[in-house]
Amino acid sequence: MTSPSSKTLLYQEFSERMADLIRHGTYPPGERLPSVRQASQQNGLSISTVLQAYSLLERQGLIEVRPQSGYYVSTRTDDRLFPEPETSSPQRDPSLISLHELVMRLMKDTSNPDLVQLGAALPNIDSQLTQKINRIIANITRQQGEDAHQYQFPPGLEALRVQIARRAVNAGCNLFPSDILITSGGVEAIDLSLHAVCKPGDIVAIESPSYFGTLQILEVHGLRALEIPTHPRDGISLDALEFAIEHNPIRAVMVISNFNNPLGSLMPDEKKEALVNLLARHDIPLIENDVSGEIYFGEKRPTVCKAFDTKGLVMLLSSFSKDISPGLRIGWLAPGRYRSEVEWLKFTLSASSPTLPQMAIAEFLESGGYDQHMRRIRRDYARNVKLMSDAVMRYFPEGTRLTRPSGGFVLWVQLPENVDSLELYSLALKGKITLAPGHVFSATYQFSNFIRLNAAAFDYATERAIERLGDMVVELAGRK
Ligand SMILES: Cc1ncc(COP(=O)(O)O)c(C=O)c1O
């Protein structure tokens, strides 16, 4: 005989399986589900277990009953579209940054296996990818064991730089392998760029909001951040930037031109070109971060600002952390006219990036494995971002706003005005969920009612976590 607890598990398990099929499009919105009798026969479950599962899915808003017709996948989200957040309006004065305590707390969350990870922008690392990379690493250690133990002094492994230069053509860029320097992830590339062009106290213009890793590096270097209004769809405001340049001695500008973290914004080509031309007129270097440029949901890889650079002022950086593996710690920088300075800094501060991961990534790119992998994850991330957006719209209250990224895997969510995201973060931790509160994306504590969510590994547990978060937001919104 089935015990009550295993019976509970059976219907939950079945509803999870059905929810997964719905999310992955086996049953698209509006589609009829198998009847209760069919589902019971197909799955060897009792009628009452199927009924219980269907009624759970109904309560979750995933399906709806049509009298005398059956159960259908819900189309409800389509008529309840949350608006996008508006262009940000940061303070007009440059500011020093002090965010490291909160950022370190968030970092520690990422290694806590008990939490649903909606905070850090971790990619979804699946076994299909890891098996491929592990096989490549095993082959390299068998075939060229000794070479893999040598330094790869700046600019780094030539075979990898050749591959990166070839791919840059898709982003509209003619790069030679000698234009590229291999780094230890995107973080080191940002660090080297800022180090090469700024000294403590200088002002750097950044987007608002900005990726908190960038803010941390500005904090370490004692640089002042000048936050520029930024639109969640097409990026930094050039009018506001021009005004800022006319009124402040700006030493460098930093943008994430494609699929900004956290906004998901994508600067159109004309805007990229206009930005490069504006900075060229003022002789200001542009540090362009393109770590998610390859994770596009549309037909074509977007271009980079670097494609319009004729003066060597654009320092283009990227990393294989979002699309292959953050643990391999490989990124790169095309530093334009600052190349010799950057190479010297790289050699002095870290000598070389690890050789084996450079070899493995070069081989993955050369063999075509990367292209195949990217075709798959672009599809997966597009679907997961959509599912996460649908879940937020289903469970969060009116007054919420939401971005519409066309690449990457993060969502930027504006909560009702009176909801403090740090309070939500504390509540969420108690409920075994971590998220990124808006505070860490600004030098001046803007975005107190925003959160960033990671949709990369969206699954049933994520959906449930979003449901619980939605309840918490409703509670906080109603309290004050
Ligand atoms: C925009 C952006 N730049 C850089 C990084 C850091 O990249 P890496 O892990 O390669 O150092 C991240 C990681 O979250 C990021 O989102």
The pLDDT score that the predictor gives to residue 1 is 38
**CATH classification number, 100-123+371-479, choose in 3.20.20.150, 3.40.50.720, 3.90.1150.10, 2.20.25.90:** 3.90.1150.10
Q: What span, in angstroms and rounded, lies between the C-alpha atoms of 28 and 25?
A: 5
Kindly report, residue by residue over 206-255, the tens digit of the pLDDT.
Answer: 999 999 999 999 999 999 999 999 999 999 999 999 999 999 999 999 99
151-367 is classed CATH 3.40.50.720: no
Q: Is the CB of 261 under 6 A from ligand 1?
A: yes
Q: Which atom of ligand 1 has the smallest separation from the CA of 319?
A: 10
Per-residue confidence band for 417, with pLDDT thresholds at 50, 70 and 90: very high
Distance 436 CA to ligand 1 centre (A): 15
Q: Is the CB of 321 under 6 A from ligand 1?
A: yes
The pLDDT score that the predictor gives to residue 3 is 44
The pLDDT score that the predictor gives to residue 8 is 56
Per-residue confidence band for 480, with pLDDT thresholds at 50, 70 and 90: low
Task: Please determine whether the domains at 100-123+371-479 and 151-367 fall in the same fold group of CATH.
Answer: no
Q: Which CATH architecture has domain 4-79?
A: Orthogonal Bundle (1.10)
Distance 97 CA to ligand 1 centre (A): 19
Kindly report, residue by residue over 141-191, the tens digit of the pLDDT.
Answer: 999 878 899 999 999 999 999 999 999 999 999 999 999 999 999 999 999
Kindly report, residue by residue over 32-62, the tens digit of the pLDDT.
Answer: 999 999 999 999 999 999 998 898 888 767 7
Pocket test residue of 212, 261, 317, 333 for ligand 1, highest count of atoms within 8 A of CB: 261
The answer to whether 118 and 435 are in contact (CB under 8 A) is yes
Top-confidence residue, 449 or 12? 449
CA atoms within 13 A on the CB side of 110: 12
Residue of the CA atom closest to atom 16 of ligand 1:
261
Kindly report, residue by residue over 243-278, the tens digit of the pLDDT.
Answer: 999 999 999 999 999 999 999 999 999 999 999 999
Per-residue confidence band for 350, with pLDDT thresholds at 50, 70 and 90: very high
Pocket test residue of 290, 317, 322, 358 for ligand 1, highest count of atoms within 8 A of CB: 322
Domain spans in the chain, listed from the N-terminal domain onward: 4-79, 100-123+371-479, 151-367
Neighbours of 177 (CB within 10 A): 17
Pocket test residue of 107, 294, 319 for ligand 1, highest count of atoms within 8 A of CB: 319
